[in-house]
Amino acid sequence: MKVLIVHAHPEPKSFTAALRDQAVATLEAQGHEVQVSDLYKMNWNPVASDADFSNRENPEYLVYALEQRLGVKSQSLAADIQAELDKLLWADLLILNFPIFWFSAPAMLKGWIDRVLVSGICYGGKRFYDQGGLAGKKALVTVTLGGREHMFGEGAIHGPLEDMLRPILRGTLAYVGFDVLEPFVAWHVPYISEEARQQFLVDYSQRLQHLSDDQPLVFPKLAQFDDKLYPLTTNG
Amino acid sequence: MKVLIVHAHPEPKSFTAALRDQAVATLEAQGHEVQVSDLYKMNWNPVASDADFSNRENPEYLVYALEQRLGVKSQSLAADIQAELDKLLWADLLILNFPIFWFSAPAMLKGWIDRVLVSGICYGGKRFYDQGGLAGKKALVTVTLGGREHMFGEGAIHGPLEDMLRPILRGTLAYVGFDVLEPFVAWHVPYISEEARQQFLVDYSQRLQHLSDDQPLVFPKLAQFDDKLYPLTTNG
């Protein structure tokens, strides 16, 4: 398996980085090939802008997705985007590895999503969800957070973590066609003992060794909707 | 009323910018004071990093929220963060005005949230949700998107838009104490007629003129949970 880990944490010695390293070691020991995009280290530019296109469909008015499509066709995407896109297309498994900032990804990683998941390849027209451009690939979200596990779930103060992660799990990864696996979550990280951290690393390694047994989360399929994307059960 | 509009769109002539201008005109005509943070125009830096703190609690290991707290206490936050924080604290109403990118905010705006909503002022310890540091203020999310209205809602292909916006509405705005109003949504914007766009501007202006009648969305209150944040209904 070919694996791309996209890592975004402002502290190089963070526990999130230890999870990244654990993933590299575990996956390589199993014979998989691994590439890492360490966004802070790369000084990744997270800002989607007109500077991403040297060759504009419409130089007067920027519609970002439209310019992505032309950029793909004319092979004129910005070099940093193209390099990440190449890794993404190479990979069978994408791991997004990050600390939860405001119940979602740090801006650094959000900007990787905004710029790299280009229209014309990753999605476009009716190519989304199970018909998405990256169908056949798997994705795993690995996160660290400050909250305790009992603060998440039905009836808990923040509700289910998967609901907070919905724009990433469903709106991004499932949207472009990934089989999205259940997130791996390290809870309460800033406050736990070294032993508890080590246990998360062991659990993560175990999880990665048996990833092929995981059932992906369930999301909509285009066949459940009509041509105008109304649900077939009520309109078909 | 004092109003801060935080606007993030890579195209200065976008319809999202027209919504921003409509809000400024409508609110000023009503006698409100308005400030606008146009993040792309300001060349806002969306990346939370150690560069945000000139005076570190721990120079060896960055815990971003911890350094925010010291930065607040010692008045040593980065100047760009402090300037935005001052506007935020000045405002009675915050409007986040943006195009939906991947069912959430563009990285540019996410980085405003990551950096400006500092621990120690906006939240901290048990000061969140109705006890959040910005309690008493209102927030409105105004978005444009490519999808059609029937693609959102219960049973629709993408589910309710409010569910996709949960990390912003609940996990960010409600978390820091805002009364969060129902989002204003302009659907299918890249594909609609000039007349349809004008109608959205009229509808938005009407909405803004009667904002004080709006009932905020309902989110958890800390009194519903015990000291360890277990729900009182099942553990109390």
Q: Show the domains of chain B with their CATH numbers.
A: 2-235 (3.40.50.360)
Are B106 and A114 in contact (CB < 8 Å)? yes
In this complex, how many residue pairs, one in chain A and one in chain B, have their CB atoms less than 8 Å apart?
173
Q: What confidence tens digit (pLDDT) does each residue in B166-216 have? A: 999 999 999 999 999 999 999 999 999 999 999 999 999 999 999 999 999
User: Residues, chain A, total?
Assistant: 236
Q: Which residue of B has its CA nearest to A165?
A: B167
Average pLDDT over residues A208-213: 95
Average pLDDT over residues B227-236: 78
Are B172 and A102 in contact (CB < 8 Å)? yes
The pLDDT confidence band at residue B162, using thresholds 50, 70 and 90, is: very high
Q: Is A15 on the interface with B (CB under 8 A)?
A: no
- CA–chain centroid gap for A65, Å, is 19
Q: So what's the pLDDT on residue A55?
A: 87
In the DSSP assignment, the letter for residue A104 is B
Q: Three-class SS of residue A99?
A: strand
Q: Round to whole Å and give the CA distance between B198 and A21.
A: 53
How far separated are the first and last CA of chain B, in Å rounded?
40
The pLDDT confidence band at residue B233, using thresholds 50, 70 and 90, is: confident
SS3 content of chain A, % helix, strand, coil (to 5): 45, 15, 40
Asked if pLDDT for residue A178 goes beyond 90, the answer is yes
Q: Is A108 on the interface with B (CB under 8 A)?
A: yes
Q: So what's the pLDDT on residue A125?
A: 87
Average pLDDT over residues B87-99: 98
Q: What angle do CA A180, A186, A190 make, to 5 degrees?
A: 145
The pLDDT confidence band at residue A235, using thresholds 50, 70 and 90, is: very low
Q: Is A146 on the interface with B (CB under 8 A)?
A: yes
Nearest Cα of chain A lies from the Cα of B207 at a distance, in angstroms, of 27
> Which residue of B62, B102, B156 is in closest CB contact with A114?
B102
Average pLDDT over residues A96-118: 98
- Interhelix angle B107-116/A107-116, nearest 10 degrees: 180
Which residues on A lie below 8 Å from B188 (Cβ)?
Answer: none
B168: closest CA among B119, B103, B215? B103
The pLDDT confidence band at residue A214, using thresholds 50, 70 and 90, is: very high
Q: So what's the pLDDT on residue A233?
A: 72
Average pLDDT over residues B36-50: 98
Q: Which residues contact A96 (CB under 8 A, 6 or more apart)?
A: A6, A105, A109, A139, A140, A141, A142, A168, A173
Average pLDDT over residues A36-58: 96
What is the percentage of chain A residues whose pLDDT exceeds 70?
A: 99
Q: Round to whole Å and give the CA distance between A130 and A132.
A: 6
> Which residue of B107, B111, B167 is in closest CB contact with A48?
B107
Beta-bridge partners for B123: B119
Q: So what's the pLDDT on residue B236?
A: 43
Query: Using DSSP, how many helices (H) and how many strands (E) does chain B show?
Result: 8, 6
The pLDDT confidence band at residue B224, using thresholds 50, 70 and 90, is: very high
Q: Is B136 on the interface with A (CB under 8 A)?
A: no
Instruction: State both tokens at B8.
Output: 């993030």
> Which residue of B13, B167, B234 is in closest CB contact with A104?
B167
Are B11 and A159 in contact (CB < 8 Å)? no
Burial of A232 (0-12, 13-18, 19+ CB in 10 A): exposed
Asked if pLDDT for residue B53 goes beyond 90, the answer is yes
Sign (positive or negative) of CA dihedral B145, B148, B149, B152:
negative
Which residues on B lie below 8 Å from A114 (Cβ)?
Answer: 101-102, 106-107
Q: So what's the pLDDT on residue B125?
A: 87
Average pLDDT over residues B33-39: 98
Q: Is A1 on the interface with B (CB under 8 A)?
A: no
Nearest Cα of chain A lies from the Cα of B199 at a distance, in angstroms, of 21
Average pLDDT over residues B46-69: 95
Interface of B with A in 160-189 (CB under 8 A): 163-168, 170-172, 175
Instruction: State both tokens at B36.
Output: 């606008």
Q: What angle do CA A191, A193, A196 make, to 5 degrees?
A: 110
Q: Round to whole Å and give the CA distance between B114 and A113.
A: 17
Q: Which residue of A has its CA nearest to B222?
A: A157
Q: So what's the pLDDT on residue B234?
A: 55
Q: Which residue of A has its CA nearest to B61?
A: A11
Burial of A79 (0-12, 13-18, 19+ CB in 10 A): exposed
Asked if pLDDT for residue B155 goes beyond 70, the answer is yes
CA distances A81 to A37, A95, A119, B92, Å, are 12, 18, 12, 40
For B11-57, where are the E strands, in sequence order?
33-38
Q: So what's the pLDDT on residue A172?
A: 98
Residue the block writes with tokens 């060349």: B43
The pLDDT confidence band at residue A234, using thresholds 50, 70 and 90, is: low
Q: Which residue of B has its CA nearest to A172?
A: B102
Q: Is B219 on the interface with A (CB under 8 A)?
A: no
Q: Three-class SS of residue B80?
A: helix
Nearest Cα of chain A lies from the Cα of B138 at a distance, in angstroms, of 18
